Amino acid sequence: GIFKLDVNIGERYPFEPPSVRFITKVYHPNIDNEGRICLDSLKMPPKGAWQPALNIAQLLSQIRLLLAQPNPEDPLMPDVTEVYRNNREMFNRTASNWTSKYAKGDLICPNKFVDNNNATIPKYNPCINGESLNKCSVSLMRTNLKTGSDSDEDESESHDESDSSGNESEDQTDDQPDLKRPRMS
């Protein structure tokens, strides 16, 4: 199934863990009906195991592992934990039914995600990028850039270093690289 998460990265990240919860309903001993997740890596020490060295990709891998391998010793849902411990067949059937019912969707994701601070996070896919999850890095870009035909003309004019006769400006010498963008005719 496709499980959707709400990941809120606070101002103190990486010194404090992000807030992560499931948006998709999940039948699981360590995930409650509000989507809260009982995972040590999401809590600060001494009760938790969050470390600034953990990155988001590693955290998501741990959540994925928790989905596959519930921890009945640290339950968030006692009734689900009871079924998990005493009737694994019923637990698996119910979890599978919930997955079929609630974890629908497709793998088509937007190319970028926009947060409330006007930052854009380009989509990261370790399979496409050929990197392992523990080497994930995300770069931020501002989204309040000018768009439209007027800004394109203004930008090309501001980078034009030719004088009115079309000759290059005198301060560029032959041994300096030409840093100008090519003009489109």
- pLDDT one-digit tens code per residue, 61-79: 999 999 999 999 999 999 9
90 and 132 within one domain:
no
pLDDT of residue 132: 37
Q: Which of 65, 88, 107 is the last residue of a domain?
A: 107
The pTM of the whole model exceeds 0.75: no
| Banded pLDDT at 140 (limits 50, 70, 90) | very low
Q: Which two tokens stand for residue 122?
A: 């380009």
- Rounded to 10 degrees, the C-alpha dihedral 147/151/156/159 comes to -100
Determine, yes or no, domain membership for 176: no
Determine, yes or no, domain membership for 145: yes
Determine, yes or no, domain membership for 122: yes
26 and 102 within one domain:
yes
**Rounded mean pLDDT of the chain?**
73
Q: Count structural domains, the chain.
A: 2
Q: Which of 70, 89, 107 is the last residue of a domain?
A: 107
How much is the average pLDDT of 41-45? 97
Residue 38 falls in the annotated catalytic set: yes
Domain with 32 in it: 5-107
| Banded pLDDT at 111 (limits 50, 70, 90) | low
119 and 138 within one domain:
yes
15 and 103 within one domain:
yes
132 and 103 within one domain:
no
* Helix 78-86, helix 88-102: angle, nearest 10: 130
- Cα–Cα distance measured from residue 40 to residue 47, given in angstroms and rounded to the nearest whole number: 7
177 cis-preceded (ω within 30 degrees of 0): no
Least confident of 122-126, 141-145, 153-157, 162-166: 141-145
11 and 25 within one domain:
yes
Residue pair 50/12 in contact by the 8 Å Cβ criterion: no
Determine, yes or no, domain membership for 13: yes
Which position has the token pair 């770069």?
Answer: 139
Segment 70-110, tens digit of pLDDT: 999 999 999 999 999 999 999 999 999 999 999 987 665 55
Highest mean pLDDT among 3-17, 112-126, 130-144: 3-17
pLDDT of residue 39: 98
pLDDT of residue 176: 43
Centre a 10 Å sphere on the Cβ of residue 21 and count the other Cβ atoms it contains.
15
Determine, yes or no, domain membership for 118: yes
Determine, yes or no, domain membership for 180: no
65 and 118 within one domain:
no
- Cα–Cα distance measured from residue 171 to residue 77, given in angstroms and rounded to the nearest whole number: 72
Would you say residue 8 has pLDDT above 60?
yes
124 and 150 within one domain:
yes
- CA distance from start to end of the chain: 50
Which position has the token pair 């411990």?
Answer: 85
- Cα–Cα distance measured from residue 108 to residue 106, given in angstroms and rounded to the nearest whole number: 5
117 and 102 within one domain:
no
26 and 101 within one domain:
yes
74 and 38 within one domain:
yes
Would you say residue 143 has pLDDT above 70?
no
Would you say residue 7 has pLDDT above 90?
yes
87 and 54 within one domain:
yes
What are the helix and strand counts (H, E) for the chain?
Answer: 5, 5
Least confident of 47-51, 84-88, 125-129: 125-129
